[in-house]
Amino acid sequence: MPEWALSLLTGMALIFGLGAVGVPIAFSLLLSGFICISTFLAPTAALVAMKVVLYGAVTEAALLPIPLFVLMASVFVASGVSARAYDSFARLFGGFRAGLLVATNGMLAFLGSLMGSSSAAITMVTQMGAPELKARGYSNIAIGGVIAGGAGLAVVIPPSILMILYSVVMEVPVIPLFAAGLVPGLLMALGNTIWIIIYTRMYPPRQVDARPAPASENASSDASSFSAETVAAMRGQITVLGRLRAAAELIPLVAVAVVMLGSMFLGIASVTEGAAVGVLGALLVGLRHLTLRKLWWALSNTAQITCFIMMLIVGGRYFGMYFSLTGISQEFIAWIEALPLSGMQLLMTIMAIFLLLGCVMETISMMLVLVPIAAAALTTAGFDPIVLGVLFVINMEMSLTTPPIGGNLFVLAGMGRPYGITFEQVVRGAIPYLFIAAGVIVLVAFFPILATFLPSLLE
């Protein structure tokens, strides 16, 4: 085995080993990086590298949008804006056979343009939507699938924290990357909707008029999380005027997304400035319902999530320096170039490897540690780094819902347990959405104009 391959496997084995015994992933990366650099180079080199990373990784201006996007999402949740938006979506699509499932998918896609966090989207939508979805007679498999599949849209549809990190590690502009993710993200949302309609044709929801008793005492059996008007709409008791009123209630949120993304895409604002506009919009939209206690929760939640992400960035950057200092990155790229594979075969091989790795490795860590090496090799093979960014982000979205240990599967199974939704049911429901995401990867790989069309217009 080549020395570079042995060094690579040693580093990865250390990360997985430390993670297996319960060491948080950020500290696993830091400790693995220190041990590897000390072993293959020298302890002094490890200390110098740590000093450089500890300061440099968290003072990069390109990372400033991250806490702002997190704050925007936290304000939407704290003020109840996101919950009321779900209520409006449910009324808009209420009365149709697949109506509430389509509304849930639409809400998750919409949250993707405002939150950028799939786990946050799962938490909110499961708490609010699972009881009503069950009350409308949808199976646990359908409920688990639509939430798991739709939540992944949050990391594909801009703004996306993973895209910001990709732009930093690959040194590509983030605004064209955001624009490149828009069409593939909408294609995934459309594919999800088509599958929902097909599924409900094959397996119509049972006609249930009353809310079923929760499967656990931890679940609330109180009145619906939706408004009375929305519950009536889901039974078909809604007029065209009622649907128009529901659509009108979404206008402020649409305006925030359009102004935020539009200001960035048109060059009026940088990504950081656009994120600040998004925070201001969230505050204005939720002002009537935002108390000091709720604002404090939003700020503290933002601080916690930002610290978690920044620690991952520090750990990932430090371990990545091990690859750079030992020459592993260069050796790996040279090995990839020597493989008897066409460019497309190479791309699909790497996508498959990353999908498997994503089942056992945290996505931000993969983005910081492994993506720079793989993307550099693929760029050398002639692929556009912007297109690669979209492909890697969709791939990581898939890994979040890939059995046996996709992160979103466990979050959803945990949130859905009070309503009798099991891990097995979530997995069975999520599988069709994985094929939809894989189909979009293939489409973008063979027709990169799907990702490059909007960025080319921005030029």
- Contacts made by residues 19-26, CB under 8 angstroms, sequence distance 24+: 25/312, 25/315, 25/362, 25/365, 26/308, 26/311, 26/312, 26/314, 26/315
Q: Is the peptide bond before 205 cis (omega within 30 degrees of 0)?
A: no
Mean pLDDT of 368-390: 89
Q: Pick from 232, 332, 302, 249: which is nearest to 12 by CA? A: 332
Q: What is the DSSP string of 1-40?
A: --HHHHHHHHHHHHHHHHHHTT--HHHHHHHHHHHHHHHH
Residue 123 or residue 166, greater confidence: 166
Total residue length of the chain:
459
Three-state secondary structure readout of 48-83 = HHHHHHHHHCCCCHHHCHHHHHHHHHHHHHHCCHHH
Structure tokens at 44: 């002094």
How confident is the model at residue 117, as a pLDDT?
A: 62
CA distances from 396 to 145, 164, 320, 342 (A): 17, 14, 19, 23
How confident is the model at residue 112, as a pLDDT?
A: 60
- 89-112 confidence digits (pLDDT tens): 878 887 777 778 888 887 777 766
How confident is the model at residue 283, as a pLDDT?
A: 94
Q: Which amino acid is it at 309?
A: I
405 backbone dihedrals φ, ψ, rounded to 5°: -130, 35
d(CA 282, CA 75): 6
pTM passes above 0.85: no
What percent of the chain is modeled with pLDDT above 90?
Answer: 23
How confident is the model at residue 360, as a pLDDT?
A: 67
Residue 416 or residue 114, greater confidence: 416
Tell me the average pLDDT of the chain.
83
| Residue 412 near residue 148 (C-beta atoms within 8 A) | yes
- 144-195 confidence digits (pLDDT tens): 899 888 887 878 888 888 888 899 888 899 999 999 999 999 999 899 999 9
42, burial (CB in 10 Å: exposed 0-12, middle 13-18, buried 19+): exposed
- Contacts made by residues 49-52, CB under 8 angstroms, sequence distance 24+: 49/318, 49/321, 49/325, 50/318, 52/321
- 306-326 confidence digits (pLDDT tens): 888 888 888 888 888 888 788
Q: What is the DSSP string of 416-428?
A: HGGGT--HHHHHH
How confident is the model at residue 224, as a pLDDT?
A: 47
396, burial (CB in 10 Å: exposed 0-12, middle 13-18, buried 19+): buried
Structure tokens at 72: 């925007």
- Domain residue extents for the chain: 3-458
d(CA 400, CA 447): 25
Structure tokens at 48: 């110098």
Burial state string for 289-298 with b = 16 or more CB within 10 A and e = fewer than 16: ebeeebbeeb
Q: Is the peptide bond before 404 cis (omega within 30 degrees of 0)?
A: yes
How confident is the model at residue 122, as a pLDDT?
A: 79
First to last CA, the chain: 46
Considering Cα of 57, then 58, then 59, then 63, what sign does the dihedral take? positive
d(CA 129, CA 457): 38
| Residue 408 near residue 118 (C-beta atoms within 8 A) | yes
Mean pLDDT of 50-77: 84
